Amino acid sequence: MKAFFHVMLACVLAWTLSSCHKTEHASRTEEELTFDLKVVNATDPATRAVKTDWEMGDKIFLFFKKEGTTLLTAEKYAVLTYSGSAWVVSKPSNSAIELTASGIGTSGIIYAVYIPFGNVAFSPNTYRPFQSSLNQNSALNSIPPFSFYLANTVGGEDGNEYGLSGSVVTGTLTMRLPENFVYFFIEADGRKYDKNEKYRLSVEGVRPVAVERYANEQFPLIELAAGQPMWGYEYRDGICFAGIMDDTWADATNNHRMIFFSDGDPAVTKIFSGKTLVSHASVKLSSPTAENGWTRYMEAPEYVEIAGNNWSKWNLGSTGANDQTHNLKFRWAEIVPDSGQGNSSFSALISQSLTGDYVIFDPARAILGSDWRMPTRSDYSALADDCTLSTSNDWFTFTEDETSIHFITHNAAYGSGGSNYLWTSTVASDAAYAYVREFHVGEDLFNESGSGEEAKRAIGIHFIRPIYKGFSMNDDHGVQKEEYLPTPLD
């Protein structure tokens, strides 16, 4: 992946045109067969393309349809690997394909997909066979990589023909970028990225996309809701992201918010103003620091020490303890607020509590930084056990000694008189559910749900009350003394 991004628009963005017509040949002898396949990156040179060359370790997955037969199953596949000077065909140990004359026949169609960075494992007999495999965080190994890809089944094409002459298999793989993909590159500015799972970029109007599997001559996709974070991958001295843009980018009067997540640091944000994007545009972003116009996405809330924890005085996204209009609701394991698009595909992939390796999916940590976290089920239990509860039409109040904390009983987000539901980070025994705490107007009960619609991870959309777990920066647990913008690239 050479010359990944080119560009400069004002002092922040960059856009250029580049040609991507790079061809290499593949070879391998499998029993009596030798493969001589041309591999062409056929992205339209009139577009702003992202990949202009092949690099060592690039992998292309191949699925053969022998002429006169039904489609090969997803379990039968070969892999092209670029050595730096040539493509080499191999048969992974878990593949059922026979790379022989009888196995692939004298002619047919190849269906091919390139998923970048060489960190994809094909796991047969699973619904989502394309999975990350080289992440430093093993929690991501079962999740398809949400990044860009090349395939020979896009742009109206339907695979590529191959033929067998004597013992030589010949053909040309014409690999293309999907339509409406756009790319974002954040320069390191002298700093080094160290973990491929650490960085995520949310861009309003851009949908993260992952290749799900091979099926019926196609590569079905998983598309998340627009604005959900794209995963960042280390590239050279920076980090890159990719997704599919929606129609809102055709109008330069629209503003689009970017949110940069660097696990452990508070999220930072910036606004695209008066910009348009076209298919295959490459966008170069300045390092996300205050000097470059990035600001903190959410200010850290005040907190109070009670029942063994430093509980925030208000929900994630609120402006204060009495704010009933700015509370933000989140879907399970999604670190940006719900946009109302009803997306639950990514949530369904997460079957663990949002702790340990899965803490990267904790919205409180992702937005406020590693000094913050979601409450667990036991945190809420301690609040109920250690405190005296009093209620009113507006509040559930927990008091320990002379310290109190309030929870709103109704919230404008639910309409007038609506109840209040808050996620915990704890998954119930049935992994389809997480524990939820409930506050109901006119009731003096502090309920817990571990099943039912409100607790279902795939469809639940609830509030989050963060807990501060870092070193105190407060005077008497009041307003934080230090306001700062992190340098997440350090």
pLDDT over 90 at 300, yes or no? yes
Alpha helices in 311-456 (DSSP H): 363-368, 377-386
Say whether both 396 and 450 belong to one domain.
yes
One-letter identity of residue 26:
A
Q: Highest mean pLDDT range out of 1-15, 280-294, 466-480?
A: 280-294
Residue 185 lies in a domain: yes
Least confident of 216-230, 276-290, 409-423: 409-423
Q: Highest mean pLDDT range out of 83-97, 99-113, 234-248, 360-374?
A: 360-374
Residue 312 lies in a domain: yes
Say whether both 288 and 309 belong to one domain.
no
Say whether both 396 and 344 belong to one domain.
yes
Question: Which residues, in sequence order, are CB contacts of 313 under 8 Å at separation 6+?
Answer: 301, 302, 303, 304, 320, 321, 405, 406
Tell me: the pLDDT tens digits for 207-216? 998 888 888 7
pLDDT over 60 at 47, yes or no? no
What pLDDT, on the 0 to 100 scale, is given for residue 454? 86
Q: Highest mean pLDDT range out of 87-101, 154-168, 256-270?
A: 256-270
Residue 49 lies in a domain: yes
Tell me: the pLDDT tens digits for 442-457? 676 678 889 988 898 8
End residue of a domain, out of 270, 297, 324: 297
What pLDDT, on the 0 to 100 scale, is given for residue 12? 29
Say whether both 417 and 344 belong to one domain.
yes
Say whether both 152 and 261 belong to one domain.
yes
What pLDDT, on the 0 to 100 scale, is given for residue 1? 37
Tell me: the pLDDT tens digits for 106-142? 999 999 998 876 555 555 555 567 777 667 777 777 7
What pLDDT, on the 0 to 100 scale, is given for residue 347? 66
Q: Is 34 helix (H, G, I), strand (E, B) or coil?
A: strand
Nearest to 288 by CA among 487, 11, 484: 487
Say whether both 40 and 98 belong to one domain.
yes
Domain holding 464, by residue range, is 303-468
What CA–CA distance (Å, rounded) separates 176 from 143? 24
Least confident of 266-280, 339-353, 443-457: 339-353
Residue 38 lies in a domain: yes
Residue 488 lies in a domain: no
Residue whose tokens read 């370790």 = 57
Q: Which two tokens stand for residue 185?
A: 């590159």
Average pLDDT score, the chain: 80
Phi, psi dihedrals of residue 427, rounded to the nearest 5°: -85, 140
Rounded mean pLDDT of 322-327? 71
Report the percentage of the chain scoring pLDDT > 70: 76
Residue 446 lies in a domain: yes
In this predicted model, which residue has the larger pLDDT, 365 or 225? 365
What pLDDT, on the 0 to 100 scale, is given for residue 130? 79
Say whether both 208 and 293 belong to one domain.
yes
Say whether both 161 and 281 belong to one domain.
yes
Residue 424 lies in a domain: yes
What CA–CA distance (Å, rounded) separates 378 from 371? 19
pLDDT over 90 at 103, yes or no? no
State how many domains the chain has: 2
End residue of a domain, out of 297, 318, 347: 297
Residue 114 lies in a domain: yes
Say whether both 136 and 176 belong to one domain.
yes
Say whether both 355 and 417 belong to one domain.
yes
Say whether both 335 and 421 belong to one domain.
yes
Say whether both 317 and 290 belong to one domain.
no
End residue of a domain, out of 257, 275, 297: 297
